[in-house]
Chains A and B, each alone.
Chain A
């Protein structure tokens, strides 16, 4: 057991510890901000450190309580997880900046905003590091419980109504998730992902495994808001208070996508099953999600609702990367996930600033922002162009990659859809720009002017997106290795189960009987 592996716990336990500490300082908002700031600003640093550590030492594994893998809880950080922690951490830090600069009214911030936010972040990081599907379920529940409260935070009437829908839908999804976990356990006798992968391979990928995979696709599809299952998102997210909606839209849907990226290459990569069922399914979902999402966005006339529909559309690209299912496709997908976390959050923060400032975010009521807030306009422009995929910015690399790899693999229709979607994305960004930023400044009274700090937090996140573009060479190297690692499976399985699991997997793949795993 090497000591460095214990560091995996820090991104999970840190925020939760912070949340508990915040509870002790309920009377002092300033102290809460400080505590929350330590764990929020520390997270990107922690993520970067973990990423460098993983690149240096290989996959980090932590067996909690030193139980063997088939009994105990295993936490794992490979390059994919580390990259996710890093960029979710960046979003967390910027969101904290937004809170600390009083982006949320003080009378609201008083009511446990910081503890809830920290619990949410801890849950997200837990989902990134966990090695078994039951803990994944638990981490999803932690995320959900925090988000139930946060989405109804502020207690306004429309919020209550939307949160009843949001909660009910998510409970159905969680129930289905739990049933899927039970199903996996009943079929293959394990909930450990690596063990599950080996046992599915040993069974020769029976049809039940395909059913199981489809169930996981539905479960994570609801979280990720893919095409037939996205309906809850555009209503619920814009109702959340400012700042929180930015973190939600940046990170929460991507947790679902991350789980798909984790599960499919690891457990269900069987070529025959994948080509005949999962690949067509994923590609159709990818195409429809992209197109319907962007069409939804195009038809809206509210700043944050447009952006909420764009979340859905962008998820389509990530699913496309998974559907291509080559190491490059996965690599570009991972790149696109973290680029999107950062850019989407920063765009929604701009939307939040507008909403806070003008009291509304309907495009027709808000004009001429560029005269009043040139800084905000520049921030929005950079993020919007990045989202649309204009070359020097970070969105370009992922999109270019999908088109490149999609054509190479012959998925012409989805590539065509993705190009058209890109154009519409640009068009709806231009629409926001034209309505809200250009034009004469109306004489409406400003409800609550945004201060420099809030804009600085947003600008900081956009700066991260520029950094992604600048460091794209190095990051591309990281994600290509991560993609290869995902497809190769062996580093991950060895990290969890040791050589025993590796031999069992190789034997199973070689088609022989193989040595059966010792029953616990």
Chain B
């Protein structure tokens, strides 16, 4: 166990689609876990990263204050931080709210929208506040690698991780690079 590579994953403003795609490596998971140990991840329910993670895979952009804290924890604890998928890379579909003022978004959702009762903007201190714009993660912390796609295919995850595990610079062939 000791010399296994520690991988942590999380989804910020994403849909977990990238995680689902990761799991689509199917039976190769078995091979993978021979070399890899999952740390903080929705797959493990570990809440915080260990201090010595090797690889952090981040799905989703940054839409609220909690995303910022999570991302910073990953950056601090992971040697290599990877932006996974369109949302992490450019904000993706959640960033399409960037063209509507946040005030209007919240008003529509909590004040004036159809079917709203007891209209008020949620204000519990437990809730993270929304940023005025959804940001790609490279605008908040330094990112080492980018895996584009919505989601990146299972083969992208496999190629990227096996390249890294083999100690070589990850290289995605033409058909593995796509933005959709």
Do chains A and B interact in one complex? no
Q: Which residues of B contact A (CB under 8 A)?
A: none
Residues of A that sit less than 8 Å from B by CB: none
